Amino acid sequence: MFMSIPTYLSQQDPSRQPLLSAIHTIIINTDKTVQPEIGTMMGKEMIIYKAKGVFKYGLASVKNYMSLHAMPIYCAPVDLAAIMAQMKEERKKNTNMFKTKNWQLILSVIIIVPVALAYGIAPATILPRLFNFTVNTTNLVHVFRVIMVLYLATAINAQKAPGKKAVLKTMELTNQYFMSKWPDTGKDIVLVAKNKTWPSHIWTRAVYYEGLMALYSVDKKPAYYDYAVDWGTKHNWSLRDGIKTRNADNQCCGQTYIDLYQVDKKEERIKDIKASIDLMMTTDKVDDWNWIDAIQMALPVYTRLGVIYNDTNYFHRMYGMYAFTKYKHGGNGLYNTAEHLWWRDKDFVPPYKEPNGQSCYWARGNGWVVAALDYKDMCAAVLPLQRADGFWNVSLKDSTHFGGKELSGTSLFVYGFAWGLNNGLLDKKTFRPAVIKAWNALVKDCVHDNGFLGYVQGTGKEPKDGQPVSYDNVPDFEDYGLGAFLLGGSEMTKLK
């Protein structure tokens, strides 16, 4: 059914209507050669502006963004058809250059870059020849040069997905750095600066072993398995503070114990973690997870025990504890149902605000939840908060509050996004470019030649903690950042 331009504009988000209407008016008043109509391009309904029946511009408003398309190449349909026919022929020959994963780069080179140059180098000369459009003011020249920059940025950001071998090579490098630094898996963790000592099966080390087992799942090197078994053995497959602990951090090691039990079903490996969870389930208390990190630390333990023992009581208790954290802790729960993000604990529930007036959503805390649940609404909320360089800020909605590159939160989002893509839960066109961009940024900007990982925020509970974060700074604990990185990398090896 035919739709008029006013009708299309009236159906858009009210906050967008003034800008969309203004752009539409500028186009039709400035370029008298075009006729607007409502049509579909690239799967999106939009206003299409044609000159003599040939596409010239497109103005769209979709769920997460508005976009203005202007492709001079489409004004030469014969040339475009020839280019596409040539590309099709080359693909039949199965040359490496024209493999599917390189299409975005190819299109950038033969279409986007020429378009950008056509707009920006000499718009007053080139555009009249292409469109019979006169650029007769300095402002218009600047406008088209800005468009050139945007197109070139698009071409530059057409990032290639890393191959499995490249991902594994990076994971091996970073993991070997840690294994070489910690040859004794039972050695205590000593921080001289804090004058404190911890046993090496606390949560930070447990997260590393989660990552190691994820690496082992995609690269069955015996050294990885042996290193993990040695860790469990030296700690007698126990939990910090014993089986009476209700602290999710202390139970995190149980995830790896269970993974190793699945490989070699020795009951001693899961005896203590099962006993600890079973003791918790003898009471009705469900408010233990009063910080969102706990969801990743302990929730997977319940699901795995439920599967191993075919006992749904584990699932019911897990959900009861999760639901209390989500809907009741801090008064109304730690999950913001409007913004689909989590406050780290009750200390950050409104009226607490970041310096810019936004709620405080800590990246790593939200990353823990994504890693545990791959919650689709969360992924959609996190996606537009990604930085231009591929990372996420430690404060998701306040780039001015200790903003900058940070590995642990970004790695957890990579893990959640990639897992969702690999399991068909997330839209490929929407999330795949973002996860590739994030992984490439992690490898390029964080990985040292010797495998050390930079830009890891130290332990804490909010953006200001664990600072400074830089390429060379060593955090108080190096293990959990690597664990998150290995989790993300394990899913990137499967990305299609």
Task: With a cut of 70, say whether residue 125 has pLDDT above it.
Answer: no
pLDDT 10s digits, 3-27: 788 888 888 888 888 888 878 887 8
Which has the closest alpha carbon to 389: 379, 399, 404, 400? Answer: 404
Check if the beta carbon of residue 46 is closer than 8 Å to that of residue 59: yes
Q: If pLDDT is split at 50, 70 and 90, which confidence band does 28 have? A: confident
- Cα distance between residue 215 and residue 28, in whole Å: 56
Higher pLDDT, 384 or 134: 384
User: Strand 66-70 and strand 189-191: pairing?
Assistant: unpaired
Neighbours of 426 (CB within 10 A): 23
Q: For the whole model, what pTM was predicted?
A: 0.73
Q: What is the C-alpha separation between 212 and 256, in angstroms, rounded?
A: 9
Q: CB-side exposure of 461: number of CA atoms within 13 Å?
A: 11
- Summarised one tens digit per residue, pLDDT across range 239-282 is 999 999 999 999 999 999 999 999 999 999 999 999 999 999 99
Tokens encoding 473 = 């700074």
**Could you say which of 9, 40, 70 is where a domain stops?**
70
Domain hosting 12: range is 1-70
Domain identity same for 400 and 463:
yes
Q: What is the CATH number of the domain that holds 366?
A: 1.50.10.10
DSSP state of 192: G
**What pLDDT was estimated at residue 130?**
52
Q: Give the residue with greater pLDDT, 271 vs 82.
A: 271
Collapsed DSSP state (helix, strand, coil) of residue 396: coil
Q: Are residues 196 and 104 in the same domain?
A: no
- Strand 335-336, strand 341-342: pairing: antiparallel
pLDDT digits (tens, 9 = 90+) for 45-71: 899 988 777 777 888 888 777 888 776
Q: How far apart are CA 302 and CA 317, in angstroms?
A: 8
Beta strands at 44-51 and 54-61: parallel, antiparallel or unpaired: antiparallel
Residue 315 burial by CB count (10 A; 0-12/13-18/19+): exposed, middle or buried?
middle
Assess whether 172 and 146 both reside in one domain.
Answer: no
> Quick check: 422 pLDDT over 90?
yes
* 293 and 422 share one domain: yes
Judge if 96 and 60 occupy the same domain. no
As a whole number, the mean pLDDT across the chain is 86
Name the domain boundary from 126, 141, 158: 158
- Same-domain pairing of 452 and 439: yes
Number of domains in the chain: 3
The dihedral sign for the CA sequence 50, 52, 55, 57: negative
Q: Are residues 135 and 216 in the same domain?
A: no
Please list, in sequence order, all residues whose beta carbon lies within 8 angstroms of the beta carbon of residue 353, skipping any fewer than 6 positions away: 359, 360
What average pLDDT does range 20-49 have in this prediction? 82
Per the DSSP assignment, residues forming a β-bridge with 35 are 50
| DSSP annotation of 359 | -
Alpha-carbon dihedral sign for residues 435, 440, 445, 447: positive
pLDDT band per the 50, 70, 90 thresholds, residue 373: confident
Q: Are residues 364 and 332 in the same domain?
A: yes
CB atoms < 10 A from the CB of 379, how many? 25
Q: What is the pLDDT of residue 378?
A: 95
% of the chain residues with pLDDT over 70: 81
Total length of the chain: 496
What integer pLDDT is reported at residue 25 of this predicted model? 82
Q: The tokens 């973002």 sit on which residue?
A: 434
Give the pLDDT score at 274. Answer: 98
